[in-house]
Amino acid sequence: MAKKKNKKPRKRDQRAPKSSDIAGPVWLDEEGLHALFPGKPPSEEFLDLLTENFQRELRNSPMWDQMVEQFGEEEAEKLLKQCRAKFGTRG
């Protein structure tokens, strides 16, 4: 019986997965931005961190200036607080 050679992984097998390999479909509708990911549901701590990061990025974007100009500082803050990451199920 012949010995099996230890195969070295090919370079394409060693590459980091692309986001398209990890995430499922992403879409936007009247409820907000949706994305499907495989795996276990995220923890509340993770969702809070995701929310904080999103709100910080929004506040530092040109969209924030547009929101303040259109709605005023106080209303823009209220709208910003409504931007939250949450876990939901399909169906």
61 found inside a domain: yes
Return the higher-pLDDT residue of 16 and 36: 36
Query: Per-residue pLDDT averaged across 63-71, rounded?
Result: 96
Distant-in-sequence contacts of 17-21, Cβ < 8 A, 24+ apart: none
Note down the domain range covering 62: 41-85
Would residue 35 count as lying in a domain? no
- Residue 11 covered by a domain: no
Residue 75 inside a domain? The answer is yes
Is residue 13 one of the residues assigned to a domain? no
pTM strictly above 0.75? no
Q: Quick check: helix, strand or coil at residue 3?
A: coil
How large is the average pLDDT for residues 34-47? Answer: 84
23 vs 29, residue with greater confidence = 29
71: in domain: yes
Specify the higher pLDDT residue, 50 or 88.
50
Residue at 79 is within a domain: yes
Residues β-bridged to residue 27:
34
Residue 63 makes CB contacts below 8 A (sequence gap 6+) with none
Number of structural domains in the chain: 1
Asked, for residue 54, whether it belongs to a domain, the answer is yes
Distance CA 77, CA 72 (A): 9
